[in-house]
Amino acid sequence: KPPPTVPLPLEKLDPQTPMMKLWLLAHNRQSRLEEHLQRLKELEEFANFDFNIWRKKYMQWISHLKSRILDVFRSIDRDQDGRITHKEFIDSVLASKFPTNSLEMTAVANIFDVNGDGYIDYYEFVSALHPSRDPYRKTIDTDQINEE
């Protein structure tokens, strides 16, 4: 009885024929083109990015899940030290299937991190999602009207 063979990905196979080589080259090129197209779509979407719209959609999404902001923050803050890295925040939101992309999330993480220390603490998290609850922020009439 011959030993079972482990199938290798096509990229790992040694091409036997010129046609196989050509097919592999075309397949690799198509993959790279699809990645570039996805990146261009993200850049196009990001050109129209508005944090206030993103924030409102995220708050609606949290509300739809019947979650509290504290619960969302705690689920991201796995070591429970009261702060999360930009990467933890971005990865968590992207993994949650909230409709956004990595470019938007990088911008959002930078907006959330008010003091620029590379971490988002709970205070920064809440004040970014509820600007009206930030005692140090001057209220702008349009923001106050929109919040009401």
Shared domain check, 87 and 120: yes
26: containing domain: 16-44
Shared domain check, 77 and 39: no
Q: How far is CA 145 from the centre of its chain?
A: 29
Q: Is residue 6 part of a domain?
A: no
Contacts of 69 (CB under 8 A, 6+ apart): 62, 125, 126, 129, 130
- At 8 the pLDDT is 58
Positions of the chain with pLDDT lower than 70, given as ranges:
1-15, 133-148
Shared domain check, 103 and 31: no
Least Cα distance to 109 among 144, 83, 138, 85 occurs for: 85
- At 18 the pLDDT is 77
In the chain, the number of structural domains is 2
- At 83 the pLDDT is 94
Q: Is residue 99 part of a domain?
A: yes
Shared domain check, 57 and 34: no
